[in-house]
Amino acid sequence: MNIIRRALTLIALVGICSVSAAPQQAAAAGKRTIAVATDATWPPMEMVDANKKIVGFDIDLMNAIAKEAGLTVEYKNTAWDGIFAGLTGGRYDAIISSVTITDERKKQYDFSDPYIQIGQILVVPKTEARAAKIADLKGKKVGAQIGTTGAFEIKKVQGVELKNYDEIGLAFEDMAAGRISGVVCDEPTAAHYALQKAEYKNKFKIVGKSFTSEAYGIVVKKGDKELVALLNKGIKAVQAKKIEDQLRKKWLR
Amino acid sequence: MADLERARPAIEVGDGAAIPSKSDIGLFTAWRFAFFGAVILLVYLAVTRPDPYLAILKFVPDGILVTFEVTVGAILLALVIGLVAGLGRIASNRLLNGLASLYVEVIRGIPLLVQLFYIYYALGRFVHVPDIASAIVAMAFCYGAYMGEVFRAGIQSIPKGQMEAARSLGMTRGEAMRHVILPQAVKVVLPPIGNEFIALLKDSSLVSILAVADILRRGREFASESFTYFETYTVIALVYLIITLFLSKLIGIMEERISAGN
């Protein structure tokens, strides 16, 4: 019994040492490690690839920003509807997850400078011939991911029932099953599902042009001025080097 | 609660776990303390800080209705499925017995959340069922398996002599089951069925994953827009607590009535 207990204590001690050693090494190299949350269900901005790695436009961009700013990044895949609560709770230092900079969110959190401009767009089944905007779907259900600016846009339209999904992919799946008549999300994501995914290509179409203009920013805890400054420095360098344009070509086409 | 415990709760019935004995019916029973405590806390919060708390309370009522719809629909369907499965499990017909056992074993071995995803999204490819209906079906299928075991245990708890006596009076097996065994079994299975009822109500929060606007979904919608996570989930927890406590009281009263009736 005693031996087992000693062995366990030893294992625990080794574990603690190795955990505390990791940041020290990073510090020795002069790099600060930050944990960054992302909801990897929003292709092509952030998603999980076939090798279970988190990839996407935002991830590549974050890596480039971190390189310029002298940061080491550790990603944490987090469900969207708790992603802001986790930041408040100190579970990570920043969020890069296609977060639109809004006044409401600015009251609660601090944002980096905007790193890309994007808009909301409506996707409908091809059978929905006459729908040109959300208001044309009065009396019907339109889906979006919970707590996203797409959902807020649907809510603004009187007579349209908003359905909130945990992940945007589930909304598209539900539209394929005929339970809802439209989905509103960010333009690149809409394009991914409506124009590139083989099983949806013949079923869905994008309606018109994006009808909002939104800027994505990296979210940090309120008052974390130091990190915001670092991130802004990185964003400026990335934009100066035209890395963003390369990433646009790579991910958004 | 562990599946095993749910599967054979009838065994505990002799202890009368869910039936309050006469001695603890006073002013300060645990039930009253919890129920009125939760109600008073909720009212206090809503009155003193109406900004988030009252706003949340105003936001969730249609969610409560949906939760009720799903729970009541699922419980009624599950009772029917459970009775059929339970009778199937004790049937001497090997085909019936095998089918019922297969159903119970398969359903009990798959998490409810997976079943919900399966019936809603996977089968949604082939059959287009409205969301609340498929939520009810999925919950009922899952709970039907547990209810089946409750009914089986209840029926098997009735001494064999009862069946033999009924048969010797000239009743067929079916008649004996209907007039002699089942009425006695109902008394035995009532407490575990009540357990299932409450468990089902709480598990119905899982249907929020199907974009069904139940209490939890409404709460999440509110929180994700207002960033008031603490306040929202406090209210959601209290609302669930008040409903389940109310239900457990109702079931307790029903049990007393039925045992008094005999």
Query: Where does the pLDDT of residue A4 fall: very low under 50, low under 70, confident under 90, or very high at 90 and above?
Result: low
Token readout for B198 is 């409450």
pLDDT tens for each residue of A30-72: 689 999 999 999 999 999 998 999 999 999 999 999 999 999 9
Amino acid of residue A253 = R
pTM of the entire structure? 0.81
**Secondary structure of residue B144 in the 3-state scheme:** helix
Residue B84 has pLDDT above 70, yes or no: yes
pLDDT at A12: 60
Subunit contact A147:B211, Cβ cutoff 8 A: no
Across residues B121-150, what is the average pLDDT?
90
Domains by residue range for chain B, with CATH: 25-241 (1.10.3720.10)
Smallest Cβ–Cβ distance between A164 and the set B130, B131, B217 belongs to B217
pLDDT tens for each residue of A82-109: 899 999 999 999 999 999 999 999 999 9
Q: CA nearest B209 in A: which residue?
A: A166
pLDDT at B256: 85
Domains by residue range for chain A, with CATH: 31-117+216-251 (3.40.190.10), 120-207 (3.40.190.10)
Partners of B222 on chain A (C-beta within 8 Å) are none
pLDDT tens for each residue of A115-153: 999 999 999 999 988 889 999 999 999 999 999 999 999
pLDDT at B22: 55
Is A108's Cβ below 8 Å from some Cβ in B?
Answer: yes
Alpha-carbon distance B148 to nearest alpha carbon in chain A (angstroms): 32
pLDDT tens for each residue of B218-240: 999 999 888 899 999 999 999 99
Q: CA nearest A108 in B: which residue?
A: B227
Rounded Cα–Cα distance for residues A245 and A249 (Å): 6
Alpha-carbon distance B212 to nearest alpha carbon in chain A (angstroms): 8
Burial profile B77-95: b = 16 or more Cβ within 10 angstroms, e = fewer = bbbebbbbbbbbbbeeeee
Token readout for B52 is 């988030």
Alpha-carbon distance B128 to nearest alpha carbon in chain A (angstroms): 6
List residues of chain B with CB under 8 Å from any CB of chain A. Answer: 121, 124-125, 128, 130-131, 209, 211, 213, 217, 220-221, 223-225, 227, 229
Mean of per-residue pLDDT scores for chain B: 88
Rounded Cα–Cα distance for residues B124 and A177 (Å): 6
- With pLDDT > 70 as the criterion, what percentage of chain B qualifies? 89
Is A174's Cβ below 8 Å from some Cβ in B?
Answer: yes
Q: What is the CA radius of gyration of chain A?
A: 21
Smallest Cβ–Cβ distance between B211 and the set A80, A85, A163 belongs to A163
Q: CA nearest A79 in B: which residue?
A: B224
Token readout for B84 is 């059929």
pLDDT at B126: 84
Q: Using an 8 Å Cβ cutoff, are A56 and A190 in contact? A: no
